[in-house]
Amino acid sequence: MNGRPAEVPVGQVRRELADRPARINAGLGRTRCGPAGAVIAALRAGLGLDDRVVELSVNHERRWMGIPLRFTAGTPSVCLPRLDTAEARQLVAADVKLRDAYEPLARLHIPARPSWKEKTAVTRTATRIATATQAVTVTSNTPVVTDWALRYFGPWWNATSTTADDGPQVIADVSPDRVTEIAQRVADHAHEETVYANTSMLFDRDDDGTVLASQPDDKLAYRAEPGGPLHVYGCEDVPVALAAARLAREVLRGQLVADGWSILHASAVVRDGQTVLTLGDKGAGKTTVGLLLARAGWQLLANDRVFIRREDDRLRVLPWPSAAAIGLGLLDALGWYDQVRDRVQHGEQLHPTQHQKVTDALHSGSRTPLWKDSGKELKPQFFPDQLHTWLGLTLATEGHATRVLFPRITPGAEPALLDEDRVVAAGDFFTAGTEDRYPDIFGLLPADLPGAEPLLELLGEIPRHAPVLGHDVKANTDFLTQVTGPTA
């Protein structure tokens, strides 16, 4: 097993198999059909010969579970039964037990040979992603990766299917052999370690500037040559798609920063091109304000950070595409919890970076906020397009800043404006030194970053307010609509 000898107790296995029918009969009293009959039933349903419900082990929400599938003309759909609280807890406990047993084994194994898919001829696909005057192309040997880029960037940036071009590229392939090769190369040489996208990354830089990196927990490997394309390899298509999207955004980030753009820690909404920026520390209410205004008819430009640049006497703003995190409590307060839970229970999936505890809470109907030991809240993670298709919000692709809010959430408070004269400061911007999620391992950022002084001067000249908000959604919405109105 994994290249190591393993003793198999053949006699014990034979006795167990011989005794199993009697134990099944004693426990259940009967079975629906034997193994051969179960295979035939599944085949007839999958081939469209019978329309029926079949219980099968399937990868549902990135978990392997035995669940009912309703087959109609050969097409399966998940039809989970309604579970009460006790049943939901039992399902979660069973899943945790299986996952805890499986994950240590899964980490040991990386396929040593190319898969059948790699041995056959494949058609490469490509997605071009563009914003402002910059662009990058993602190419892959599996369409899952490029389709993912289309979905992820399309609502906020301009993403289109294309053929590979001569511009900046992220080449993202499913290739277990390359993962093994690069991971071994990094491990065998002196290397550094950091955290990239919340996962440990080992990396090594050659004398010619080539960067090799490995993320063992995700079975991902990277290669970046100076002036060349950025390669990412993985053993499965979804992790490769996630990594490719992050890298494509980082490539564009480097291009935009080199073109004079800065990154501001803010949520943003747009109406008729005019943008309201909401700033503050974690928990201040940036996401809450953005979603309240978006529900009231504004277009959502960003959930957490934006690109911003001075152009003449105006501040142009672009979105930072990312999964949108909305806490369970806020989801419930805004009236979206039930519709989101219903979609999840019927087999639709949120962004895979979502913590499993959040998915379990949605299945069980829990609306109580969840927290890590570090104090960070665990939240449902929405694909950008799901903000529209699931929540009914309209997204914006750019705007120009006309107002700044510095909110504060105080339970029981009546919405009001505080007599505070806070201004946007240098600490509200992300820099290479303060970036906590995506350190510049691959040298994508320019050496000379634009200063924030010209932006701070112009941001100080536009209207700004410091609203205090309570927990009354309607009162908060009415107040924010008044504050951000044309005559405010």
Amino acid at 190: A
65 confidence band (pLDDT: 50, 70, 90): confident
Q: Taking residues 446-459, report their average pLDDT.
A: 83
List CB contacts of 238: < 8 A, sequence separation 6 or more: 62, 144, 148, 352
| Per-residue H/E/C for the chain | CCCCCCCCCHHHHHHHHHHHHHHHHHHHCCCCCCHHHHHHHHHHHHCCCCCEEEEEEEEECCEEEEEEEEEECCEEEECCCCCCHHHHHHHHHHHHHHHHHHHHHHHHCCCCCCCHHHHCCCCCEEEEEEECCEEEEEEECCHHHHHHHHHHHCCCCEEEEECCCCCCEEEEEECHHHHHHHHHHHHHCCCEEEEECCEEEEEEECCCCCEEEEEHHHCEEEEECCCCCEEEEECCHHHHHHHHHHHHHHHHHHHHHHCCCEEECCEEEEECCEEEEECCCCCCCHHHHHHHHHHCCCEEEECCCEEEEEECCEEEEEECCCCEECCHHHHHHCCCHHHHHHHHHCCCCCCCCCCHHHHHHHHHCCCCCEECCCCCEECCEECCCHHHHCCCCCECCCEEEEEEECCEECCCCCCEECCCCCCCCHHHEECCCCCCCCCCCCCCCCCCCCCCHHHHHHHCCCCEECEEECCCHHHHHHHHHHHCCCCC
Residue percentage of the chain with pLDDT more than 90: 58
User: Any bridge partners for residue 169, and if so which?
Assistant: 137
Query: Is the predicted pLDDT of residue 61 greater than 90, yes or no?
Result: no
The percentage of residues in the chain with a pLDDT greater than 70, rounded to a whole number, is 89
pLDDT digit string, tens, across residues 93-118: 677 677 677 766 665 555 544 444 44
Q: How far is CA 229 from the centre of its chain?
A: 23
Instruction: Convert the pLDDT of each residue in 201-241 to its tens digit.
Output: 999 998 889 999 999 999 999 999 988 899 999 999 999 99
Q: Which of 86-90, 144-148, 166-170 has the lowest mean pLDDT?
A: 86-90
Residue 114's pLDDT is what? 47
* 174-211: pLDDT as tens digits: 999 999 999 999 998 899 999 998 899 999 998 889 99
* Cα–Cα distance, 81 to 363 (Å, whole number): 11
Distance, CA of 185 to CA of 30 (rounded, Å): 55
Identify which of 460, 465, 344, 449 has the alpha carbon closest to the alpha carbon of residue 407.
465
Average pLDDT score, the chain: 87
Does 247 score more than 90 pLDDT? Answer: yes
Give yes or no for residue 382 having a pLDDT over 70: yes
Tokens (6 digits) for 16:
């167990």
Query: What confidence tens digit (pLDDT) does each residue in 1-12 have?
Result: 666 777 888 888
Q: Is the pLDDT of residue 294 over 90?
A: yes
